[in-house]
Amino acid sequence: MSATTSATTQNSPQTRKGIDPRWYSSSLLTLILVVGQWKFQMLGDSYLPWAVALGTSLLTELILFRAHNPGRWPNLLSAYISGNSVAILLKPSGAILWPFVVASMLAIVSKYVLRSGDRHLWNPTNFSICALLLIAPAQTTILSHEWGNDLGIVLALWCVGLLVVFRAKVWHLTLGYLGMFAALAWFRTLFNGDTLAAEVGPITGPMYTLFIFFMVTDPKTIVRGRARQMFVLALIALTECAIRMAADFEILSTSSALAVAPGMFALFFIGAPALLLDLKRPRQASPGAAPLAGVG
């Protein structure tokens, strides 16, 4: 084989390997963890809950993958994202640790059980957090504080986040949800008397940072086709708005699970049925998004 042929073969699409996009998403999550703990003690005074959540997620992934794929070893980046996300989002009452174990296990198990063909239906962390909020509302809640008034932190994290979603070709979902959230926030001010700043404020918090950069963009759980993706995204945004307004007008208790995490429950209720319907459609060859790992 000539040198020219050898070089051509080495640089061909079949042999050339790029960086796994999940490294970008896991790096973003690590950055969120470091900044959140440094500035706001997001993980609290003890690192034990974080260790429990991450360890449970990694171990569960390892056991289930090996059980389904004897002789092979899993890529643990997805489990790393799930475990860290559970540690960030989950805030149990007191110093109990079992919610971190249960949520991390639910996230990984859902990938192997709640499936249609070769696809899991829910974003793993979205499923596990929502399930735990419904099962044990008295013992668990989720992180609700914002990044404060430090716009530098928000801009830095969002700049990195936008690089990640642009790399994965799902930027339209992140930017689309931001636009819809802002428009519907303004709509709610017409009825509830709140200021626009108060209604838009939650989007700058850690929960929504994970939500818009990891959950609604998870290519394993989104429908095919940009137009359909935006339609489902609009349904999720409208469902969230309806949940928020129901809490505003005391149709829902403000302490109810849905009111505590309206965006996550909107995705929980809309995302999986939409994906299931989409998977029943005949497949057509079309360029897909790069495999960015969502939160899980």
Q: Which residue in 69, 58, 66 sits closest to 105, CA to CA? A: 58
Find out whether 24 and 162 touch, Cβ atoms under 8 Å.
no
Whole-number Å distance between alpha carbons of 173 and 110: 23
Q: Which residue has the higher pLDDT, 26 or 106?
A: 106
pLDDT by residue (tens digit) across 87-121? 888 988 878 999 999 999 999 999 999 999 889 99
Q: What is the pLDDT of residue 25?
A: 74
Q: Distances in Å between the alpha carbon of 259 and those of 5, 15, 94?
A: 62, 50, 21
Q: With cut-offs at 50, 70 and 90, classify the pLDDT of residue 17.
A: low
pLDDT by residue (tens digit) across 257-286? 999 999 999 999 999 999 999 998 877 654
* R_g of the chain computed on alpha carbons: 20
Whole-number Å distance between alpha carbons of 160 and 28: 7
Q: Distances in Å between the alpha carbon of 205 and those of 158, 186, 195?
A: 11, 18, 17
What backbone phi and psi angles, to 5 degrees, belong to 163? -60, -40
Find out whether 56 and 71 touch, Cβ atoms under 8 Å.
no
- Phi-psi label, residue 135: left if phi above 0, alpha if psi -120 to 50, beta otherwise: alpha
Average pLDDT on 228-241 reads 98
Q: What is the pLDDT of residue 8?
A: 40
Range with the poorest average pLDDT among 10-24, 73-87, 158-172, 240-254: 10-24
Q: What is the pLDDT of residue 4?
A: 39
Find out whether 293 and 26 touch, Cβ atoms under 8 Å.
yes
Exposure class string for 141-174: b at 16+ Cβ within 10 A, else e: bbbeebbeeeeebbeebbeebeebbebbbbbbbb
Say how many residues make up the chain: 296
Query: Which DSSP state fits 291?
Result: -
Find out whether 179 and 258 touch, Cβ atoms under 8 Å.
no
Whether residue 130 is predicted with pLDDT greater than 50 in this model: the reply is yes
Q: Which residue has the higher pLDDT, 289 or 100?
A: 100
Q: What is the pLDDT of residue 6?
A: 39
